Amino acid sequence: MTDVLIIGGGLAGAAAALWLADLGRSSLVVEARARLGGRAHSRDWGNSGGPVEYGGGWIRADHDQMIGLTQRLGIRLVPRAEITGHSYFRDGVWRADPAEDMATHESAMANFLADASGMAEDTAPPRMIHGMTLQDYLDHRVYPASVRREIMAWWSISGSAAPDVVGADEYVTPKLAKGLMIKLEELAFTAETGVASIAQRAIAASGAGTVLGDAVERVEDLGGRVRATLASGRVVEAATALVALPVNALSQIRFVPSLSPAQNSLRRSGHAGRALKLLIRAKGPQPGHLATGETLGIRWIYADRILPDGTTLLIAFGLADDIGEPDRATVETVLNAAFPGAELAGFDWHDWTQDPFARGTWVSPVMATLPAYAPEHWGLRGRLAFAGSDLYSAEQGWMEGALLTARAAVAALETCLQQDL
């Protein structure tokens, strides 16, 4: 019998398969999609000359697990282009500065950064912010429109959810005391062969079996083994199982026996991540330039690199509910607001909120559900372990978080398997 059934072929499941193999354990990876990688979705786009990232793509310089895994698998990390400039756009117009009244803007921004600095202190203002949504916080501080635009531009790439449902302390953190650009500086590397190749190579190196294009619909912990029923009707069994899925996909599986009350509450409610990542090819913009502001829902655009056909790959973010379905007219308007004179060559995106196996982007916890993410709720339960970047860790929402939870799950499963001897 296979030692571990791994449900989900994203980074957490793939790394777990590799690390289980290091312990001499066998595994079978079952992935609902016809591809591996999960929310890491790397593929060629036109004449891109290599994969572009439709999902998660950036690795921080302090992400030791991710860097170590890429080194082990022989995947080169490519540094992000040096930041060469920062401009602003609003109402379809390019601006050199974020506000007409820069004195008021800078004063309000200083207050925001002071609040961020104070979040590590147990004093009255930080305690007050802990209980607020981001929208409550913005309204309470009565920030001018220019500051709100900048906060929301960066929120679209980090918070990724409607500001009236997610806590301000998901964003207003001591790290931001150094300024909003710290968020871009974190995005240090991309994988030369695409992030999805990390999952693909890890599973290949593990020797794990794979089942693609067949979703797990039912998982039964039978005491001495685990049984899973797939959408095709196929039944697979293993001694233990690792559930390595996005939180918003857990509702598609029936667990027998039922999960814990905390797990079920999060399984039913999910998280609120609803960002839209837009890929744009354009002639004119130079790599390393960032534009922030807001036009037609797009809030953040970064010129990433020159492609083989001479166009520049730009990466843009906004909240999906603000943008709707992107069309050429919208993208052209936003592009020319952020990069005047740029010529649109094409655009594309993956709709993660409608993707049946993701149902959302990276995790953005609703305030009321925060206790359900606590690690004590996601440890070994019977013969089931859980992993994924959505689950509570020091790096929640990052690919590093997927690997950290996978490490913990592998250790727990090994203990369970040792007890069977």
Burial 258-276, CB ≥16 within 10 A → b, else e: ebbebbeebbebbbbbbbb
Instruction: Kindly give, in sequence order, each residue whose CB lies less than 8 Å from that of residue 223, ignoring residues fewer than 6 positions away.
Output: 382, 383
pLDDT tens series, the chain, 421 aa: 999 999 999 999 999 999 999 999 999 999 999 999 999 999 999 888 889 999 999 999 999 999 999 999 999 999 999 999 999 999 899 999 999 999 999 999 999 999 999 887 877 667 788 889 999 999 999 999 999 999 999 999 988 999 999 999 888 988 898 999 999 999 999 999 999 999 999 999 999 999 999 999 999 999 999 999 999 999 999 999 999 999 999 999 999 999 999 999 999 999 999 999 999 999 999 999 999 999 999 999 999 999 999 999 999 999 999 999 999 999 999 999 999 999 999 999 999 999 999 999 999 999 999 999 999 999 999 999 999 999 988 899 999 999 999 999 999 999 999 998 7
Residue the block writes with tokens 């005491």? 223
Degrees (nearest 5) of the Cα angle 352, 259, 252? 30
Per CATH, is 2-39+53-60+66-75+192-272+365-419 categorized as 3.50.50.60? Answer: yes
Can you give the residue ranges of every domain in the chain?
Answer: 2-39+53-60+66-75+192-272+365-419, 104-179
Q: The pTM is what?
A: 0.96
Tell me, rounded to whole angstroms, the distance of Cα 363 from its chain centroid.
6
The class of domain 104-179 in CATH terms is mainly alpha
